[in-house]
């Protein structure tokens, strides 16, 4: 594609094929490897200057086979960052509320752990100095493949261009090209367990 856009049906098909490929790879990953990856990603993000300088960080609680973010979120909070976590709304958009430690989380929709603090609104993400998002794959132009719901594309669209955005993936998930449409939002950095941080876009 080389950065050009294709018709909607072809775009959906390409995204679905890549999504299936990445999901299968994650499902075949041993739990021990997944845990080690989460620790490596935690350390890489904690050492990132943008994370060290950020007063407010929007992040997410990992679910299923995603790289584990629980240790990262706890470490950011203990270090003194104000951490915002998403609340999934019925229309697929994301509200945000503050993380106040592991006991401030409760079960939410689709197996998610969500903060129990009062919601701050969908625009609360705009106050973040760093936004950390999930991804199944990212390419060198910052195009990000999500799970298909569009929740994080809506959130990222609200964030100013000057705000650093970081996707967490496993080794092998920074790919040559991610199919993208005009509404798909890009990230500026990718974190992987072995190489650490890669600046893209």
- Residue 156, domain member (yes or no): yes
Q: Find the CATH number of the domain harbouring 140.
A: 3.40.50.10420
Provide the pLDDT for residue 6. 59
On whether the CB atoms of residues 61 and 85 are closer than 8 A, the answer is yes
Q: Supply the range of the domain harboring residue 182.
A: 8-199
Q: Is 3 inside any structural domain?
A: no
Q: How many domains does the chain have?
A: 1
pTM for this prediction: 0.93
Please provide the DSSP assignment of 58-111 as one string.
E-----TTSPP-HHHHHHHHHTT-EEEEEEE-TTS-EEEEE--SGGGEEE-GGG
pLDDT tens sequence across 51-102: 999 999 999 999 999 999 999 999 999 999 999 999 999 999 999 999 999 9
Q: How many residues does the chain have?
A: 201
Among 143, 201, 128, 197, which Cα is nearest to 168's?
197
Q: How many Å separate Cα 109 from the centre of its chain?
A: 18
**Does any domain span residue 1?**
no
For residues 175-191, average pLDDT? 93
* Residue 179 domain-assigned (yes or no): yes
């Amino acid at each position: 594609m080389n950065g050009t856009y294709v018709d909607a049906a072809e775009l959906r098909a390409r995204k679905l094929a890549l999504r299936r490929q990445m999901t299968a790879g994650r499902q075949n990953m041993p739990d021990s490897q997944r845990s080690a990856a989460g620790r490596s990603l935690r350390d890489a993000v904690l050492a990132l200057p943008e994370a060290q300088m950020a007063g407010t960080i929007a992040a997410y609680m990992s679910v299923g086979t995603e790289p584990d973010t629980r240790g990262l979120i706890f470490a950011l909070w203990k270090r003194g960052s104000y951490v915002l976590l998403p609340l999934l709304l019925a229309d697929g958009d994301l509200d945000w509320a503050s993380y106040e430690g592991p006991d401030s989380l409760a079960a939410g929709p689709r197996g998610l752990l969500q903060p129990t603090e009062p919601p701050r609104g969908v625009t609360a993400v705009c106050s973040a100095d760093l936004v950390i998002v999930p991804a199944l794959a990212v390419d060198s132009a910052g195009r990000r493949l999500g799970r298909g719901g569009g929740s994080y594309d809506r959130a990222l669209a609200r964030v100013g261009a000057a705000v650093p955005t970081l996707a967490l993936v496993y080794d092998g998930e920074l790919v040559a090209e991610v199919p993208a449409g005009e509404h798909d939002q890009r990230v500026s950095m990718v974190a992987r367990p072995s190489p650490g941080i890669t600046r893209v876009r």
